[in-house]
Amino acid sequence: MKDFITAYFLEENIYVRIAFLPLILYAFNENQTNKKQNLSCTIILFLSNLLANYTRGTMMINKKILTQPVFIFVVSALLITTGCVQKELIPKNIIFMIADGCGYNHVDAANIYRFGKIGTGIYEKFPVKYGMTTYAVGGEQYNPDSAWTDFNYVKKKPTDSAASATAMSTGVKTYNGAIGVDIDKKPLETIVERAERLGKASGVITSVQFNHATPAAFAAHKESRSNYSEIGREMILESQIDVIMGAGHPVYDDNGNELTDPDFAAWGGQENWQNLTAGRIGGDANGDGTPDLWHFISGREEFQALASGDTPIRVFGLAPVKSTLQQKRNGDENADIFSVPLNESAPTLTEMTLAAINVLDNDPDGFFLMIEGGAVDWASHDNQSGRMIEEKIDFDQAIEAVLGWIEAKSNWQETLVMITGDHETGYLNGPGSGDNAKLAEGGTEAVWVPLTNNGKGNLPGMEWYSTGHTNQLLPFYAKGAGSRRFVKYADQTDPVRGKYIDNGEIGLVMMELWSIDN
């Protein structure tokens, strides 16, 4: 394709350039679902090419140049009237999926286990694919040369989830620990609030506690991510958000067993908790001056039932687990993948996702939904290879459910999907990576060894080189309405990952697409 584009722009003859247009047009429409329109556009340009060749011969005989602008005008008119030339599509819906702690090798590890080879994730075929920087204010800005010559460089002053999620939710970089506020600790408008200003529905769901850093940065404003009770109070009583789902249940432990002595301190006391579960509290979500009460669900069967049929207007879904849907369950934490029985009382991230979408897509103006696979990060902090892959597979299955919903009930002309992480965790690499890995061979350079493919259904060969975050580039994928907007921001190049953008630019693009002036 690059060869065709290069030839197209180097060719001086207008008619030869026109001959290339069918190929160029079809390639750039690869993310369109209306194949009939693509075909009609290609046919128009093919016939135009024939006309060009005929006109070119006439011009060579008669030496008339007036035909050329007339010809171009006619072709342009045909393209515009048939819809082949369109202005950028503005998404009605934005679905933003974040695998917390997930880097390139986390993606590869899950794909090797599920499919037996890398590059097989359905999202890896998206038309927009870049690297993404994540550094926070006061952190170590990404330097491509240093990142690939000094093995430990990416461990310097990495971002945390709060700063990275705030950058993505607002378009403004901030300090580590900040929840929806800038470096001066002033509240920033989040994409959730922008969606609500535009009359759209909004939601955040996660596989970890609902008031943890990533979902909080989309729905609250606090100086510190550690203020869990205050964050929870703002999300429940003050925000206009329509769907909140996650873990953090005060009555259950990490295995889904009821506690004999529940702790309601994080909820502001037992009375507040009882008011939430009874549907007696909730802030003003639609701006009419009256409270919009939450409909509370908890059991897995309730999440499953909510995936179809009529729904309440606002839903607070709290899985019957304390910390995570699965990662913190009992059993050997370093056991093989899925060898420890799953907690069957907890919903999957897919079940949460389908339930949330079924609530939000009732809004005719569209919706914003953030979906977090939060425990990819937790397993990576603990260097749990098996449970990390479990969590990544759970996240990938949620992606597949989202894409299925788009194909069945929406389309790529009205919905934008973005998939990335907030930072890399664990510095995951193949065995034998490191600064002096080739010292025995007489070399001293740093090397990054790929994961070892041990076949489908087997744990890949992999090693952890940290228990914390890193400043590695993350993979970023986008498809659908407005996704081409990211191209203009991909203005830096990494020698290994290619073009990359910054996490704050994700927020900027969302705010541009959903500008109040649009």
What pLDDT digit, counting tens, does each position of 423-458 carry?
Answer: 999 999 999 999 765 545 555 578 999 999 999 999
- Same-domain pairing of 52 and 177: no
Number of domains in the chain: 2
Residues 37 and 169 in one domain: no
Say if residue 458 is in the same domain as residue 500: yes
pLDDT tens, 90-149?
Answer: 999 999 999 999 999 999 999 999 999 999 999 999 999 999 999 999 999 999 999 999
Bridge partners for 403 per DSSP: none
Question: Do 343 and 486 belong together in one domain?
Answer: yes
Q: Tell me: do 171 and 116 sit in the same domain.
A: yes
Sign of the alpha-carbon dihedral angle for 434, 437, 438, 443: positive
| 72, 199: one domain | no
| Confidence (pLDDT) at 63 | 41
Give 205's strand partners: 245, 371
**pLDDT digits over 184-209, tens only?**
999 999 999 999 999 999 999 999 99
Residue 506: closest CA among 473, 474, 476, 470: 476
∠ CA 241-503-217 to the nearest 5 degrees? 30
Does a structural domain hold residue 407? yes
Question: Do 447 and 434 form a contact (C-beta atoms < 8 A)?
Answer: yes
What distances in angstroms separate CA 268 from CA 219, 228, 264, 417, one per listed residue?
19, 11, 7, 36
On whether both 71 and 99 belong to a single domain, the answer is no
Same structural domain, 221 and 105: yes
Q: Cα dihedral angle (29, 31, 37, 42), rounded to 10 degrees?
A: 30
More confident residue, 12 or 144: 144
Each residue's pLDDT tens digit, 250-277: 999 999 999 999 988 888 889 999 999 9
Cα 176 to Cα 185: distance, rounded to the nearest angstrom: 12
Residue 327 lies in a domain: yes
What pLDDT was estimated at residue 221? 98
Tell me, yes or no, whether 10 and 100 share the same domain.
Answer: no
By residue count, the chain amounts to 518
pTM of the model: 0.86
- When mean pLDDT is compared across 74-78, 286-290, 474-478, the lowest value belongs to 74-78
The answer to whether residues 374 and 207 touch, using CB atoms and an 8 Å cutoff, is yes
Predicted pLDDT of residue 452:
98
Residues 26 and 106 in one domain: no
Whether residue 13 has pLDDT greater than 70: no
Task: Please give the residue range of the domain that contains residue 42.
Answer: 2-81
- Compare 25 and 242 and report the one with higher pLDDT: 242
Give a yes or no: residue 144 inside a domain: no
Find the CATH number of the domain harbouring 430. 3.40.720.10
- Report if residue 518 sits inside a domain: no
Pairwise pLDDT comparison (283 vs 415), residue with the higher score:
415
pLDDT score at 104? 98
pLDDT score for 38: 52
Whether 383 is in a domain gets the answer: yes
pLDDT over 90 (residue 82): no
Say whether both 323 and 229 belong to one domain.
yes
Sorting pLDDT into bands at 50, 70 and 90, what band is 11? very low
φ/ψ of 152, rounded to 5, equals -95, 0
- In this prediction, residues 481-506 reach a mean pLDDT of 97
338 belongs to a structural domain = yes
| 294 is a domain residue | yes
Please report the pLDDT score of residue 32 as a whole number: 44
State the average pLDDT for the chain: 88
pLDDT of residue 304: 98
Dmax (CA) of the chain: 96
pLDDT for position 324: 98
What is the rounded distance in angstroms from the CA atom of residue 98 to the CA atom of residue 418? Answer: 8
Cβ distance 97 to 350 under 8 Å?
Answer: no
pLDDT value at 180 more than 90: yes
Q: What is the CA radius of gyration of the chain?
A: 25
- In this prediction, residues 385-397 reach a mean pLDDT of 98
Angstrom distances, CA of residue 366 to CA of 72, 201, 369: 39, 6, 10
The answer to whether 472 and 406 are in contact (CB under 8 A) is no
| 330-366 pLDDT, tens digit each | 999 999 999 999 999 999 999 999 999 999 999 999 9
**CB of 468 within 8 A of CB of 381?**
yes
